[in-house]
Structure 1
Amino acid sequence: MRLLKAILISVLIITVFSLAAQERILQKPYSQVILTGRGFVVPSARVILLNTNPTDGEYMVSIFDPETNKTIFSKRTGKPINEEILLSHSGPYYVLVDSELPVVCALKGMTSYPSKEILNIEYSMGGVSAFLLAFLMFQEGRK
């Protein structure tokens, strides 16, 4: 019984410390967008700022998510674009620019956060271990 309590306490402590450490790590500056051939890869879910500077004429910019097979942003305009876009998970994204004249696209990571899957795992592990520990302590107190 003591071993089980020790394991549950350690799981609970590790979960609490990992959440606190994760918050600090996400605030540190690091490479927020890794450029590839026709797209980019982000290391965690984040909000990016898309800036464009067209030379002249109408153009279209799209951001495509190959993991969900969906276009998450698409805009046809003749003016500069300055918009925040939510990237819901880590991984690759593709930027498609349709223009006859050169268009400069710049991506800047604004805020980052852990993905929902990681948070769900951490919260469920911490919650289950806390409830099991409380149950064991309640059972021991009744004896």
Structure 2
Amino acid sequence: MGDFRPVPDVLAYLGGRWRVDRTVRDVASRAEGRFEGATVFRPLDGGGPLHEESGTFTWQGAARPAERTLRFLPGARPGTADVRFADGRPFHDLDLTSGRYVADHPCAADLYRGEFTVRDADHWRTVWRVGGPAKDLVLTTEYVRER
């Protein structure tokens, strides 16, 4: 898995609309779910895009609408991002200048560890591993740019 595409400016790279396909696997129970939808990165005052995701999440045969919003702000170094929840709380940093990045986010007693990889101009991926007393999950998301 060493073929990563460096991204000199993550905020410029992410701009636009992406098709999203996410699998959610509960490691302990082996239950699996799936999210299918779209993510739009649209301009936000302050220099970074607003990430708006919407689609359908199916878990154990039940499909329901799902959405989330994140704020991607300019990071501490040029070309990086400071990712925040919609309410402004910090989520994680993002630096794709090498084409790959690992970020941690502690959430109560659980730890979210995300690996971000860029394959090319139109494909990137995240894999979040969530571990702790409350969760044992793997969330794998494929993003494909819509033209």
Fold-level match, TM-score > 0.5?
Answer: no
- Give the TM-score taking structure 1 as reference length: 0.28
- Give the TM-score taking structure 2 as reference length: 0.27
Q: Which protein has the bigger strand share?
A: 2
Greater relative contact order, per chain length (Cα 8 Å cut-off, separation 6+):
1
Kindly name which structure, 1 or 2, has the bigger radius of gyration based on alpha carbons.
1
Q: Which protein has the bigger helix share?
A: 1
